[in-house]
Amino acid sequence: MHTLIVVAHHNPDSLTHSLAVRIAEGLTASDPANTVEFADLFAQGFEPRFGAADFAVHHREASPPADVIAEQARIDRADHLVLVYPVYWWSMPAILKGWIDRVFTNGWAFDYTADSLEKKLGHLRVHLIGVGGADAGTFDRHGFTEAMRTQIDHGIFDYCGARVLTSELFLESESQNPTVHLEAASALGRRLLAASAQVDPVTPVRPASLPDARL
């Protein structure tokens, strides 16, 4: 199995990057035949702005630019796609949203016409790992957890036919001992690909949390 891990954080020493590395280590530890490729969006200088050229691609008036084709090729090589990102304003960072905006194009991720929609990424298995500063009580009490799953899991990936097998939030990232999250990420990596044989999404690996004391 080949896995593409996309990381959306500017700091290579961040917890987000460390979690991505631990997930990759877990993947290869579970089976040395598993291969992993990283896409560090900040390090590679990916352009996230959806501009006139991208608009033309959406309307089938032009071919995708070279940087988009390169990202699509990465995904085409992958059996599993893992997104690891900090939660900004209860969603993903702009650079990751822009990566999806530009890369998941009409004609590649889906075929849309006025009469029909064909989902073209049915082969792809997706794992979403968000890193948030608030606690689980805050996310659940205000409906942010469900809102993120509606917008991202369903609104983006189900629209393209990809199956989201893991949708997890690693919370209290600024107050929790990072070792707790790192160990949870290693465990998640070791069992991630086993989810591909399941009908239902993988049971989340939740780090132990502190009492709900923050709004």
Per-residue pLDDT tens over the stretch 38-97: 999 999 999 999 999 999 999 999 999 999 999 999 999 999 999 999 999 999 999 999
Rounded distance between C-alpha atoms, residue 168 and residue 201, angstroms: 11
pLDDT number for residue 91: 96
DSSP 8-state symbol, 201? P
What CATH number is associated with residue 23? Answer: 3.40.50.360
Q: Which domain holds residue 29?
A: 2-197
Residue 187 counted as domain residue: yes
| 111 inside domain | yes
Helix (H) or strand (E) holding 57: helix 52-58
Let me know if residue 205 belongs to a domain. no
Asked whether residue 213 is domain-assigned, the answer is: no
Is the pLDDT reported for residue 215 higher than 80?
no
Could you tell me which residues are beta bridge partners of residue 37? 4
Is residue 32 one of the residues assigned to a domain? yes
> How do residues 96-147 score in pLDDT, each as one tens digit?
999 999 999 999 999 988 788 999 999 999 999 999 999 999 999 999 999 9
How many CB atoms sit inside 10 A of residue 27's CB? Answer: 25
Say if residues 97 and 50 touch (Cβ distance below 8 Å). no
Domain assignment of residue 56, yes or no: yes
Q: What's the confidence (pLDDT) of residue 209?
A: 37
How many domains is the chain partitioned into structurally?
1
Q: Let me know if residue 132 belongs to a domain.
A: yes
Task: Tell whether 210 is covered by a domain.
Answer: no
pLDDT of residue 193: 75
- 83 burial level (CB within 10 Å; 0-12, 13-18, 19+): buried
Is the per-residue pLDDT at 205 higher than 70? no
